[in-house]
Amino acid sequence: MARIDDLINEIGDERVRAGVAAEVKKLRDNKKFGLVFENHLPELSYLYSVPAAKGASVVKRGAKAAEVYRVQSFAGDKAVIRRDIEGVTETETVNPQELVAVKRYGEAIYPALLPVETVTKNEAKPYHTLINSDNYHALQLLLYCYEGKFDVIYIDPPYNTGERDWKYNNDFIDKTDSWRHSKWLSMMSKRLHLAKRLLKQDGVIIVAIDDLEYSHLALLMNSIFDGWSKHTIVTLVNARGKGGANFSRVHEYLLAYVAPSGVVLPLPKKLDEPLFEDLENSEDIIEEDTNSNTFLAPLRRWGQGSRRKDRASMFFPIYINKESLAIVDVGTPMPLEEEPEPFDKDGITAIYPIDKKGIQRRWRYGYEGVLDEIDANNLVVIADGNRFEIKRKETPTDYVSWKTLWTKEEFAGSSGARFLKYIFGRDDAFPYPKSVYAVAEAIFAATHNRPNALILDFFAGSGTTLQSVCYLNANYGGNRRCVLVTNNEVNEKTTKQLYKEGFIEGNPEFEKHGIAESVTFPRCKYVINGKRDDGTPLPGKYLNGRELAKGFDENLAFFKLGFLDPNQVALKTQFEAVLPILWLMAGAKGKLELTDDNKAFYIPENSPFAVLLKERYFAEFNQAIAKREDLTHVFLVTDSEDAFRQMTEEIKASGETVMLYKNYLDNFRLNTERDV
């Protein structure tokens, strides 16, 4: 019906337009039940970085999205554009600078990741990724890199308040738009269908929402995630209440859907205040014991009261056999002033309750208690390289399930605003930012047993998700990694002012005011570095006492989504443009090293992938990669399926083999009908 409204508005004859509108109104009077919404005019891709070429679809800057023209020709410094309305051809001659190239969803687009800037604090860790892009295109790009690979998706989409806080087809949606709920659902439906394909078989998706679209979104997600376990969590957002008729709203919702083979594990009773203690130890995580109906938790105490000085009688060695991983003896408690002596003889070594940072902590049980646990066969030794950790088998009764009412004051929006004030030094950086602790709690619920989880947020906004993930890694250890996607939308007021000054979309002076460039990336960079670009240390502390100025031991790569000419790709001349995608597929490990396609093959020293660029050098390539035991992906440039299969069989390195560039052209056909 929305599509019909759009077409009615294009009818030139006023009498006919009014008559058709009246008949359509009669059709609307028929009652409909359930979740009913329209698939509106196909969303458009605005390609500001792509020149308007002959034959391209274009729109005029500032015009309604429905007014799509085709470039017929160029005459001097002017472009001749045309469109057909009711069988009548309308032709105009305009300045090409007034035009923006567009693609409708359903038309093929070929993407590239254009590096913008990186932040490197620890070269041994993988990189978080921020992509400046329309999230629909980015999701399709990520399907090529990470289909079925994400552990968790957390998103905070626009709430559709009618306050012109989001766009559909480049038009701000306000309260006067009678189709705003339908347009919002149409937008969300397309993206959630793609998001489902990105999740692992045991994945979790969590969506923040308020009352305006909660019921609609729940019905939509029930349909898309049919058979998944659904949970609604009520969270505090404004302790003082938000004004309104009858009641003052203090809450929002998290809609959490857990895949049929997934489970959100409960927390140990002593870990039910996880985000407010100093827990900077990767061993302090809970693991599911797949061999029994139990969970494994560290025998070493963590959190408050966990240090040796807190209970000196609970500090003593436990001796294990390094080969059989059996506990062979227990030493007696040591006086506080006595330092632990290393012991490693005849395959027997001593394990003390000392964490990876060398902090002397204590066991959860005293000497007699540990002996009882050994007799009950409750203790398990876990080997992690040259380090050993003793864990206790525990039943679900020893744990606390996640509650569905989150009321801590730290979860309120004022906490999120306070962090942005710390980071940017002003109050107006971004409207209604989420609390770092609320987002961290949601992600922690799904990843406290997944220390290396891959997390996606494709409505990244101000970048709260990255700060929350970094906070979890610092608090608990692990290498949780997130991929953030946000557009570079410039607010309406600033856009009008920039137009007056002669700056338009695509111009660096215009783009620097967008969300991605002015808020999301600077925030992520500042919280990792612990300081702003001018060197000013960030003020403030987290609830566990960690100073923001300390930053995080993390890395970040910032990209902008660009588009390639498929003909150039077919000619194998776009390797440098495609390279960041290959790096992302291989886990975003090691600093991205760009190179051109003049080489016979490319094997980056610090990243776990290799690329054969010239097929005739396969033998030399195969010898070179045989020395690399860390490779996870091997990319082979060939147009022959038979040659690809033969080379794959002869590859001496482990890892997944991928065929380039045919693979790119076949799989990177963005905006295809199957995804609309």
Dump pLDDT digits (tens) for 347-391: 999 999 998 888 999 999 999 999 999 999 999 999 887 889 999
Look at 246-260, 385-399, 603-617, 662-676 and tell me which has the smallest mean pLDDT: 662-676
Buried b (16+ CB within 10 A) or exposed e, 5-42: eeebeebeeeeeeeeeeeeeeeeeeeeeeeeebeebbb
Residues 155, 232, single domain; the answer is: yes
Residues 19, 61, single domain; the answer is: no
Look at 189-198, 207-216, 361-370, 384-393 and tell me which has the smallest mean pLDDT: 384-393
Mean pLDDT of the chain: 86
Task: Tell me which of 523, 553, 583 is where a domain ends.
Answer: 553
Please say if the pLDDT value at position 580 is more than 90: yes
Tokens 């000196």 found at: 312
Give the separation between CA 557 and CA 453, rounded to whole angstroms. Answer: 18
User: Do 242 and 259 meet the contact criterion of CB atoms below 8 Å apart?
Assistant: no
**Pairwise pLDDT comparison (537 vs 305), residue with the higher score:** 537
Residues 254, 139, single domain; the answer is: yes
Which CATH number characterizes residue 164's domain?
Answer: 3.40.50.150
246 occurs within a structural domain:
yes
Kindly indicate the confidence band of residue 30, based on its pLDDT and cuts at 50, 70 and 90: low
What's the pLDDT score for residue 372?
A: 93
**Pairwise pLDDT comparison (652 vs 35), residue with the higher score:** 652
What's the pLDDT score for residue 280?
A: 41
What's the pLDDT score for residue 449?
A: 83
What's the pLDDT score for residue 282?
A: 38
Residues 437-475: tens digit of each pLDDT = 999 999 999 998 888 999 999 999 999 999 999 999 998
What's the pLDDT score for residue 670?
A: 53
What's the pLDDT score for residue 45?
A: 77
Residues 288, 358, single domain; the answer is: yes
What's the pLDDT score for residue 279?
A: 41
275 occurs within a structural domain:
no
Please say if the pLDDT value at position 394 is more than 80: no
Residues 1, 84, single domain; the answer is: no
Cβ partners under 8 Å of residue 369, min gap 6: none
Give the separation between CA 300 and CA 285, rounded to whole angstroms. Answer: 11
What's the pLDDT score for residue 277?
A: 46
Residues 260, 407, single domain; the answer is: yes
Look at 410-414, 586-590, 651-655 and tell me which has the smallest mean pLDDT: 651-655
Residues 541, 604, single domain; the answer is: no
**389 backbone dihedrals φ, ψ, rounded to 5°:** -130, 135
- How many C-beta atoms lie closer than 10 Å to residue 409's C-beta? 11
Residues 108-150: tens digit of each pLDDT = 778 889 999 999 999 999 999 999 998 988 998 999 899 999 9
Residues 236, 289, single domain; the answer is: no
589 occurs within a structural domain:
yes
Residues 219-242: tens digit of each pLDDT = 999 999 999 999 999 999 888 887
Residues 479, 625, single domain; the answer is: no
Domain range enclosing 38: 32-104
Task: Tell me which of 497, 522, 553 is where a domain ends.
Answer: 553
User: Do 671 and 103 meet the contact criterion of CB atoms below 8 Å apart?
Assistant: yes
- Among positive and negative, which fits the CA dihedral 502, 55, 64, 32? negative
Give the separation between CA 555 and CA 548, rounded to whole angstroms. Answer: 16
Residues 506, 458, single domain; the answer is: yes
Arithmetic mean of pLDDT, 387-416: 84
Please say if the pLDDT value at position 283 is more than 50: no
What's the pLDDT score for residue 618?
A: 95
Please say if the pLDDT value at position 6 is more than 80: no
The pTM (predicted TM-score) of the whole model is: 0.78
Residues 259, 406, single domain; the answer is: yes
Which CATH number characterizes residue 63's domain?
Answer: 2.30.30
Task: Tell me which of 340, 375, 395 is where a domain ends.
Answer: 395
117 occurs within a structural domain:
no
168 occurs within a structural domain:
yes
Domain count, the chain: 5
Residues 246-279: tens digit of each pLDDT = 888 899 999 999 998 887 877 665 554 545 444 4
453 occurs within a structural domain:
yes
Please say if the pLDDT value at position 105 is more than 80: no
448 occurs within a structural domain:
yes
Residues 492-534: tens digit of each pLDDT = 889 889 989 988 888 899 999 999 999 999 999 999 999 999 9
What's the pLDDT score for residue 669?
A: 59
Kindly indicate the confidence band of residue 161, based on its pLDDT and cuts at 50, 70 and 90: confident
**Pairwise pLDDT comparison (519 vs 10), residue with the higher score:** 519
Arithmetic mean of pLDDT, 384-406: 82
Arithmetic mean of pLDDT, 612-618: 93
Residues 624-642: tens digit of each pLDDT = 999 898 999 999 998 889 9
Residues 91, 156, single domain; the answer is: no
Residues 44-91: tens digit of each pLDDT = 778 887 788 888 888 888 765 568 899 999 988 899 999 877 677 888
Kindly indicate the confidence band of residue 42, based on its pLDDT and cuts at 50, 70 and 90: low
**Exposed/middle/buried for 184, CB within 10 Å: 0-12, 13-18, 19+?**
buried
442 occurs within a structural domain:
yes
Residue 318, classed as helix, strand or coil, is strand
Show the beta-strand stretches assigned E in 121-198. Answer: 127-132, 150-155, 163-168, 171-174
Q: What percent of the chain has pLDDT over 90?
A: 52
Residue 609, classed as helix, strand or coil, is strand
What's the pLDDT score for residue 676?
A: 46
